[in-house]
Amino acid sequence: SHQSPHMSVPRITKEALKTRLEEDGGTPPVILDARLKYPYEHSTVMLPGAVRVNPDDPSAGLSTDRDVVAYDSDPEELVSAPVAAALIRKGYRAAALEGGLAAWVTAKFPTDEKDAPKQAPPKAGGLKG
């Protein structure tokens, strides 16, 4: 079996992340939504307070004084792990969310709503009978 170069990236479980977000007095980690464009745009949910990042430049505007957790739509963290690795190389304390967004949603943990592209519904009264 070949070792993936991203295996060394720390993972955080959804339970641990949820606890961190709900801690009183603790500093919650910054959550980065590192999903690829298509899965991001066609989804209507994101983790609470997540910041949308470009997976190619995830550290734009990030401060290094808070822990960072990246997630994506892939159960193997194919996007979030390299994002976390890139952040770690730049001196951040970063981890990838184990199981990604799907694991979080499946556990029915809290999410924020986001807009997804939809077909515009017909305007009320606009349908000719």
Of the CA atoms within 13 Å of residue 80, those in its CB half-sphere come to: 28
Tokens matching residue 110: 């809290």
CA distance 111 to 101: 10
In angstroms, rounded to a whole number, what is the distance separating the alpha carbons of residues 127 and 129? 6
Residue in this structure with the two tokens 């641990």, named with its chain if needed: 16
Write the pLDDT tens digit of every residue in 22-57.
988 888 999 999 999 999 999 999 999 999 998 888
8 Å CB contact between 102 and 73: yes
Distance, CA of 45 to CA of 61 (rounded, Å): 23
pTM for the complete prediction? 0.83
Q: What amino acid occupies position 113? A: E
Express each pLDDT in 67-108 by its tens digit: 999 999 999 999 999 999 999 999 999 999 999 999 999 999
* Distance between CA atoms of residues 80 and 73, nearest Å: 9
